Structure 1
Amino acid sequence: MQNLSAMSPPSIAEYHAHVYFDPDTRPLAAWLREQLGERFAVRLGRWHDRPIGPHSKPMYQVAFAPQLFGQVVPFLMLNRGELDILVHPESGLGHAGDHTIRAAWLGHPLPLDVDYLRRIDAGEVGA
């Protein structure tokens, strides 16, 4: 049996939401981005119109403080339409785990390059 120990949510520095889109859903992604910026104290990352890093589809990132989780995530749930969104913590325990076992998907899970995330954790590539 696995050795179990509880992790404490205060160890989470912030959350990231990766909003994935394609040419047909880009207008919805733009609207959602605008709404997030107007309604919440979030940091809006750059648009990536091609897959980048571990992400298999175009996306942008939204970073937000832990105390906003209960507002931002329900807003994303209710307004994402057909967009797929990855929500993960920045726990300090590693990018690979934060993007996979400590993550939640709104919509359909998309493939991630977990080896790339492991290389970030090993210091071989920048985050």
Structure 2
Amino acid sequence: MSNNAKQAIRGYHAHVYYRPENKDDAALVRDQLDELFDVNLGRWHDKPVGPHPISMYQVVFSTEDFSEIVPWLMLNRQGLDILVHPETGDDLADHRDNALWLGEKLKLNLGMFEQT
């Protein structure tokens, strides 16, 4: 990764998606993330919010922790769908072009980020 790319990424967000029938799995992942890593956990959103099409919570972590947290999520996501994206200041590109998905890629509502 070039120095410019490293400098452009200020941190990462993981959005852990869930439905009523697997919210307990989402809670388990959340509790383990909180216990094992230096993360900031967002509120539970039991309804779609922002560009996110279903219920989710956000996990904020540093660039230094990416190599620990993302592999852990790959192996411990409990079958949940997770969006991981960088924080560069360009919300549209971060969610659309620069994101990675664990599980199913959900269709995000990106219209809120598009320039008018």
TM class, shorter-chain normalised?
Answer: over 0.9
- Residue 113 (str. 1) matches residue 109 (str. 2): yes
C-alpha deviation, 1:7, in angstroms:
5.0
Measure the CA separation in 2 of the matches of 1:7 and 1:95. Answer: 18
Q: Amino acid of the residue matched to residue 63 of structure 2? A: P
Q: Which residue of 2 aligns with 1:20?
A: 17
Larger Rg: 1
- Residue 79 (str. 1) matches residue 79 (str. 2): no
5+ residue gaps, structure 2: none
| Poorly superposed stretches of 4+, deviation over 4 Å | none
Percent of matched pairs sharing the same residue: 49
CA RMSD, Structure 1 to Structure 2 (Å): 1.4
Measure the CA separation in 2 of the matches of 1:21 and 1:37. Answer: 18
How many residues in Structure 1 have an aligned counterpart in Structure 2?
114
Conserved? CA contact 2:29–2:78, under 8 Å: no
TM-score, normalised to structure 1, is: 0.85
State the SS of the aligned residue for 2:20. coil
State the SS of the aligned residue for 1:60. strand
5+ residue gaps, structure 1: 1-5, 123-127
The equivalences for 1:89-108 within 5 A come to: 89-92=86-89, 94-108=90-104
1:40-83 alpha-carbon deviations (Å, 9 max, x no partner): 01000000000011110000000000000000001100001210
